Amino acid sequence: MLRKLNLVLVSILLTMSYGFSQVGQGTVKGVVTDVDTGEPIPFAKVVLKQGGSIKAGVETDFDGAFQINSINAGSYDVEISNEVEGYKPQLMTGVKISSEKITFLDNIALGKAKDVLDIEEVEVIAYKVPLIDKDGGASGSTVTREDIAKLPVRSAAGVAGTVGGVNADESSGDLSVRGSRSDATYFYIDGIKVRGSSNLPKSAIEEVKVITGGLPANYGDATGGIISVTTRGPSAQYFGSIEAVTSGFYFSGKDPDGYDGKVFGLDKYGYNLVEGMFSGPLWMQKDSTGKKTKPRLGFLVSANLTDQLDSRPLAEGGWRIKKEVRDELVANPLRATSDGSSTIHNAFFLRKDDFERIPWRMNTRRTNVSGQAKIDVNTGPSVNLSFGGSLNYRFGNNYNYANSLLNFQNFGAFQQLDWRVFGRLTQRFTNNTEGSSSKIRSANYSIMVDYSKSKTNFFDPKHKYNLFNYGHVGTYETSIRPSYTFDSDRNMYVHDGFEEYEVSFTPSETNPALAAITSQYYDLFNYRPGISEEYFSNPDANPFRSLDKIQELNGLRNGDVPLSVYDIWSNIGSPFNYFERTENDQFRVTGSGSVNIGDHALSLGFEYEQRWDRSWRSGTTTNGNGNGPISIWRIARQLTNFHIDELDTSSAYVSDSGSYKRVTYDRLNTGYASQSGTGQYGGALNNDNQSFFDYNLREYLHENGWIGTGGDGSEFIDIDRYDPSIYSFDMFSPDELLNGGNSYVSYWGYDHTGKKVRGNTDINKYFNEFDENGNYKRFVGAFQPIYMAGYIMDKFAFRDIVFNVGVRVDVFDANQPVLKDPWLFYSARTVAEAKTELSNDPTKTWIDIPDAMGDDYVVYVDDVNNPGNIKGFRSGQVWYDANGVETEDPTELRGAAGIQPYLTQKGLEAWNKGTPIADAFEDYRAQVNVMPRISFSFPISDEAAFFAHYDILTKRPTSGFRFDPFQYQFVNERSAIINNANLKPETTVDYELGFQQVLTKTSSLKIAAFYREQRNNVQLMNIFEAYPSTYRTYGNRDFGTVKGMTVEYDMRRTGNLRLRANYTLQFADGTGSDATSAAGLVNAGLPNLRAIFPYSFDQRHAFAITADYRYGSGKDYNGPKIKDVAIFENTGLNVVTNIYSGSPYSAQTSITNEGQFSPLNAGLDGTTNGSRLPWSYRLDLQLDRTFDLELGKEGKKKATFLNVYLRVTNLFNQFNVLNVYRATGNPDDDGFLAAAASQTSIQNQLDEQSFRDYYNLKIDNPFNISSPRTIRLGVKFDF
C-alpha cells in the first residue's frame, strides 16, 4: 500500500511540474527470459553495480521487463538473478550507459541451476555495444573513457573535434556545430551548465557526449550543439593513477628577461603535466561479526597541474630584439635631432640584423591547475545521493603580438578561477505488486542544486591594482610664477595668470624603462637647476619649461607612453595598459522525473537559473576603444587646481618692478568648501566648481603636513611631485572617472572604486541620486538575468516506430531596464497625446494630424523647445511625412536642428538637463518560447533503421545585451556602440533525416541529411534619426540557413583495427557570421542592408578520421615475435586525422597597410566571403604500450599497470593557412611594401630601411599559419 501511495504521489508531483530534466543521465531497459522456454521471468532482481557499489536495482514485472532511469553515464556491471525460482545468476560486464540514451538489454536469458552449488556460480557475459542505435534520438557521438585514454587529446573540446559536424577553428579554438555560431554551443559537466573553463583532469572524464542535432527537450538555451561531460564516480575498492607528461624542460638562466633560457627535450615548447586520481570507500558498513561488507560512502578525487612555456607555438618560431641591442636601447632610448631642437627614439633606426629568431614565444608561460571531486552516499538501490564539484585555476602572461618584438617584458598577467559544486538526489519507485491494477510500472525523480563561480583578473604583474603606478615615470617638480601684461592705460604690469618656467625630474623605479626615456631627455638637453634663466629671452625654446614641452619633444610625463615604432610595433618600455576584475555567479535548481505508464515513458522536469555578472575594469574612449590606467594621471592633473585658475581682483598687491609698478592678485577659490565657508565639499548637488579629487587630495596632504590648508585651501597642488601610492580611485567621484564619456573605469556590480555592491540598476536613481558628498552615486547593479525552463516528453512505440515527442518552454527575463522606443531617449508625445494637447489648448492650430495616423504613432515637430509645425510621424520603424504619406527617408522630417520629436514636459526637462529620462525606459518583458521536439526511429530490420527529427531551438542573446546606463548618459558625446538591453532570444529550426545500416558483423554506416533555419541572430545595426542622435546598437536582424549531410562509418575492433570516419558536406550561409560582421557597413553609416553570403566559419568539406591499431596480450596477441617475446604486446597506435576545405574570407580591391595599427579601408573585391582559404590537413597520433605489473607480498599481490606513450600533434609539421591578407591572398605578404602607391609614404619615413624591416617582420605573421609539430612523452601508473 505504501509503495502504491508513493507512486501516486510521484505521479501527481510530475503532473504538476514542468521544467528541465537532469542532463547527463541515461536509462537501461531490458527483458529477462527463460533460456529454455523463452518465457518471461517475473520478479527477477536486476542490480546495477559500479566499482563494487550498488547504484540502482529493480525487479522485473510480469512480462519480465525492467527499466532503470536517471543513471549517471558510465560503465556498469548488471547482475540478474532469481534464486527463488532456481535460476543461475548472470553478470553482464561493461554495460555502457550514455547520457540521454536508452541502453537496451533485450537478450538476457537465465537458465535453471542443476544443483545447489550451481546456483551460486555466476555466469559472466561481456556486453557489446550494438552497431544500430535502436533509440534513435539525438545525432552526434559518445566517446567513452576507454577511447578517450587512447586519443591524442586531453580535453572535451579536443574530443568533440573528432565528431562529424563539429568544426574547430585552430586560430581561436572556437567550435561550430553544423554551421552555428560558436556561442550557440554549451558545455555541461555532470549536468552543470558551464561558465568559464570546461577543463578537467583527463583521468576524471567518464565520457564525452557530443550532440550535433536532435536536441532532446531536456536541453535548452542552445541553438548549436551540446558537449556534455560526465565525470567518473567513486568505487567500493581503492584504486588510482599517477601520470606525468613532458615535452621538455625550460631552464631560465640568470638573465632576468630570459635571454639565456634553454629548453631541453623532445620539442622547444616546454610542456609538462602531472596528474593524479584516487578513489575508494570512505565508510564501509559492518555486519554483525564486525566485517566490512557494504560501502556506504565513497569518494573520487583527481587533480592536474600543467605548465607550458608556450601554449601556442609558432610555425618557424618568432622574433625578438637581441639582448645587446635591447640593453643599449634601455640605456640610450633617445637621440637628438640633427638641429638639436627635439629628440627621436633610437628604436626607429634598428635593422633586421638587430633581431633574432627564437623557437618559442618570450614571456608567455602559463600554468593550469584543475581538479574534480565526487562523493556518493549509498543509501540503497532505489536512492542515490551524490555531491561533487570541479575547479580550474589558470594564470600566466597575456601575450600581445604587437609587444612581442621589442617589449615582451611588459605583457600583462591574468588569473582565472572557475569552480562549481552540486548535490543530486535520485529516487526510484517500482510497482511489482502481484495483482496490481495500476498501469504505473515505475517512476523516479531527481533533484539537483548547483552553484558556479568564475573569477577573472587582468593586471600588470608589477603593479596589479595600484593603478597610479601604471603610468608613473618619476617625480616632477614644476616651478610656477605669476605672469603679467603691461597695461598702457594704467602704466603698470598687471597680473594675468601663472606660467610654468622650469620642471625638475627625479626618475622612479616603478617603470624604469619609462624613466630612462625622460632621464636621457634631461641628459641630452644638459639640464641643471636654474637653466630656465638661460632661456629668459626665448622661453619657448626652453626644453624644461613645462610638462607639455617635455611631451612635445618626446620626453615622457607621468601618464605618457613612448611613441609606437612607425605605428607597427609597440615601443620598448610601454606598460601593460589594462585592468579588470570580473566575477560571474550562477545558481541553478533542476529537477526531473519520469513515470512509465503502460508503453509510455513520460518525462518531466524544471530548471531555475539565476546569474549575477559583475565587473570592474578599464574604461573606454568616446569611440569605444580601451582607455587604460596609464592615462589616469592626465585626468588627475586636469581635475587639480582648476577651481583656483581665476584671479581674485578684489585682493590686489602692488609692488615695484623696476621702472613700473606691478599688480599681483590672489587666486580666486571658486570651490564650494571655500565659498560657503563650511570647509565641506559641495558636489554636483551644490554645483561645486572644485573636483572631488582635488578636495580629497588637499585633505590628505594637509593631514600629513605637506600643505598648510585643507580642502578649502587655495595653494597650487603639483600632483606629479608626489609618490603614486598616495592616490586611489576613491578620491574621485564616479562622474570624474566617467569623464564625460571618455571614461577611465567601467563597472557593474561594483562601484567606481572596485568595491562589490548589491542590488539592481534603477535608471531613475542612476540619473538623480546623490551620495553623502553631493556627488551622483551612479549605482550600477550586477547583471542578473533569470532563466526558467520546462519540458514534458513522451517516448513510446507504435508499430515498431519509436517516437519521442515533447515540448519545451523557456522563460527568460533579462531583469534590467530597456528603452521603450529605440528611437527615443526622452519621452515624446504620441498622436493621441498631441490631439489631447490640441483639445486642451485650441490655439495650437499647428497640430494638424492626418486621419490615417494611429493613436500610438510618435509625433515629430520642427523644434523641440518651441514647436510650431508638425514634420511627420513614426510607427516603429516606419516613417510618415506631415501628410501621413510613408517615406523611406526619415531625414525629410528634420527640423533646423535635426530630427525633433514632440517631447513631453518631463522629456523636455530631462533634455534641458542633459540626461535621458527614466520615463523613456521600462522593465524587460520576459520572453516565453515554446519549442516542440519530435523524433522517431523506424527499424526496417535488425540491421537497418531510419530516423528523423524536427526541433525548434532557442538561446538567450550573448552579445551586446547588458544594460549600461553610462552609454545613455553620454550618448551625445560618444560614438561607441550602445548595448541593446532589449534583445530577444535567437531561434533555430532544425530538421534531420537519416539512415543507418549494418554492413558487417563489426561495422555500420550512418547517413544523415540536415537542414537548419536560423532566425533572430544578433547583428550590429544603425538606429537612424534616433533622438538625440543616431547611434549603433545590436538587433535581432540576422538570419541564415545551413544545409548539409554527414556520413559516418563505424568499424568496431576487427582484428587489431578500430576505425571511425566522418565526412560532412555543409553549406552554411546567412546575413552575418557573428554579431559584428556588419561593422563595416554600419560604421560607414550605410542603411541596414542584409545579404546572404557564406559564413566565415563555413567549411564545405570536412573529414574526421580516428583509427586505433592495437595488439592484445597472452592468447589475444597476434603480432610479431622474436623467439617467445611478443614485441608489440599491449601496444597500440591511435591516429586522428582532420581534413578541411578552406574557410571563406572577403578579398579587397586595393593594397593597404595591414601591418600598421590603423590600416586604411579598402573596397570589397567580389562578394562578401567570396574567396576561400586553401585546404588544411592535420594528423595527430598517440603510440602507447602498457606493461602489466604485480605489486605486493606473495599471496597478496595486486595487479597494476604502467602505460608509456608518445603523443605527437601535427605529425607531418603541416603548415596550414589560417588567415591571409585580403588584397594578396597570401599569409605572409600584404603587398604594401612593393606597391607603387606606397613608395612615397615609405620613403618619407624617418629611416626607410628600418621601416621596411619592421614592416616585413610584422607582416610575416606566424599566427596566420597553424601550430608546428609538438612531441610529448607520457607515463601513467594505474593501481
Q: In sequence order, which residues have a C-beta less than 8 Å from that of residue 366 and are 6 or more positions away?
A: 307, 308, 311, 394, 395, 396, 397
Q: Which residues pair with 241 in a beta bridge?
A: 277, 1278
Total of domains in the chain: 4
So what's the pLDDT on residue 18?
33
Confidence label for 16 from pLDDT (cuts 50, 70 and 90): very low
Q: In sequence order, which residues have a C-beta less than 8 Å from that of residue 796 and are 6 or more positions away?
A: 599, 600, 601, 802, 803
Which amino acid is residue 687, in one-letter code?
Answer: N
Confidence label for 594 from pLDDT (cuts 50, 70 and 90): confident
Helix (H, G, I), strand (E, B) or coil at 116: helix
pLDDT of 433 over the 90 cut:
no
Provide the sign of the torsion angle of the four alpha carbons 1143, 1144, 1149, 1154, taken in this order.
negative
Tell me the CATH number at 86.
Answer: 2.60.40.10
pLDDT of 442 over the 80 cut:
no
Averaged over 692-720, what is the pLDDT? 96
Instruction: Give the residue among 740, 794, 916 at the shortest CA–CA distance from 216.
Output: 794
Helix (H, G, I), strand (E, B) or coil at 1251: helix
So what's the pLDDT on residue 27?
86
pLDDT of 410 over the 70 cut:
yes
So what's the pLDDT on residue 440?
65
So what's the pLDDT on residue 133?
77
So what's the pLDDT on residue 4?
39
How many Å apart are CA 104 and CA 996, to the nearest integer?
17
835 in a structural domain: yes
So what's the pLDDT on residue 159?
94
How many Å apart are CA 662 and CA 647, to the nearest integer?
15
How many CB atoms lie under 10 A from the CB of residue 290? 7
943 in a structural domain: no
Instruction: Give the residue among 178, 198, 189, 191 at the shortest CA–CA distance from 953.
Output: 178
Averaged over 485-504, what is the pLDDT? 94
So what's the pLDDT on residue 434?
55
Verify that 647 and 559 share a domain, yes or no.
Answer: no
Q: What is the pLDDT of residues 278-306, one digit of tens each?
A: 999 988 877 777 777 777 899 999 999 99
Percent of all residues in the chain with a pLDDT value above 70, rounded to a whole number: 97
How many Å apart are CA 974 and CA 970, to the nearest integer?
6
Q: What is the pLDDT of residues 859-907, one digit of tens each?
A: 999 999 999 999 999 999 999 999 999 999 999 999 999 999 999 999 9
Verify that 564 and 659 share a domain, yes or no.
Answer: no
- Three cell numbers, residue 236: 567500493
948 in a structural domain: no
Q: What is the pLDDT of residues 224-249, one digit of tens each?
A: 999 999 999 898 889 999 999 999 99
> Among 95-99, 306-310, 1214-1218, 1231-1235, where is mean pLDDT lowest?
95-99
DSSP of 1119-1152: S-EETTEETTTTEEEEEEEEEEPPPEE--BSS--
SS3 track for 956-1017: CCCCCCCCCHHHHHCCCCCCCCCCCCCCCCEEEEEEEEEEEEEEECCEEEEEEEEEEEEEEE
Verify that 555 and 652 share a domain, yes or no.
Answer: no
113 in a structural domain: yes
Averaged over 765-782, what is the pLDDT? 96
How many Å apart are CA 905 and CA 826, to the nearest integer?
10
Last residue of a domain, one of 568, 588, 613: 568
So what's the pLDDT on residue 117?
58
Mean model confidence pLDDT for the chain:
92
> Among 284-298, 543-557, 965-979, 1191-1205, where is mean pLDDT lowest?
284-298
pLDDT of 549 over the 90 cut:
yes
- Three cell numbers, residue 658: 623696476
Which residue, chain included where needed, has cell 577659490?
Answer: 669
Q: What is the pLDDT of residues 100-124, one digit of tens each?
A: 788 888 789 998 877 655 666 788 8
pLDDT of 7 over the 80 cut:
no
Last residue of a domain, one of 713, 736, 759: 736
Q: N- to C-terminal Cα distance for the chain?
A: 48
So what's the pLDDT on residue 128?
84
Q: What is the pLDDT of residues 1082-1100, one digit of tens each?
A: 887 777 788 999 999 999 9
Label residue 90 left, alpha or beta by phi (over 0 means left) and psi (-120 to 50 means alpha): beta
How many Å apart are CA 561 and CA 577, to the nearest integer?
10
Domain housing 533: 475-568
How many Å apart are CA 1085 and CA 1082, to the nearest integer?
5
228 in a structural domain: no
pLDDT of 968 over the 60 cut:
yes
SS3 track for 1013-1075: EEEEEEEEEEECCCECCCEEEEEEEEEEEEEEEEEEEEEEEECCEEEEEEEEEEEEEECCCCC
DSSP 183: G
So what's the pLDDT on residue 131?
82
So what's the pLDDT on residue 15?
36
Verify that 562 and 651 share a domain, yes or no.
Answer: no
Q: In sequence order, which residues have a C-beta less than 8 Å from that of residue 1040 and are 6 or more positions away?
A: 179, 1013, 1014, 1017, 1068, 1069, 1070, 1071, 1072, 1092, 1095
Averaged over 648-666, what is the pLDDT? 90
1100 in a structural domain: no
How far CA 954 is from CA of 822, 932, 950, 962, 993, in Å, comes to 24, 11, 14, 19, 21
Confidence label for 1 from pLDDT (cuts 50, 70 and 90): very low
> Among 672-681, 812-821, 1184-1193, where is mean pLDDT lowest?
1184-1193
- Three cell numbers, residue 881: 511625412
So what's the pLDDT on residue 2?
35
How many CB atoms lie under 10 A from the CB of residue 240? 17
- Three cell numbers, residue 455: 573569477
50 in a structural domain: yes
How many Å apart are CA 858 and CA 877, to the nearest integer?
11
Q: Which residues pair with 500 in a beta bridge?
A: 480
Confidence label for 14 from pLDDT (cuts 50, 70 and 90): very low
Q: What is the pLDDT of residues 1029-1070, one digit of tens each?
A: 999 999 999 999 999 999 999 999 999 999 999 999 999 999
389 in a structural domain: no
Strands (E), 35-165: 45-50, 53-59, 65-72, 74-81, 90-97, 102-110, 123-126, 139-144
Verify that 29 and 126 share a domain, yes or no.
Answer: yes
So what's the pLDDT on residue 136?
67
Cβ(102)–Cβ(802) under 8 Å? Answer: no
So what's the pLDDT on residue 10?
37
Q: At what angle do helices 323-331 and 512-524 cross, to 10 degrees?
A: 60
Element (H, E) at 859: strand 858-861
Last residue of a domain, one of 705, 736, 767: 736
pLDDT of 657 over the 90 cut:
no
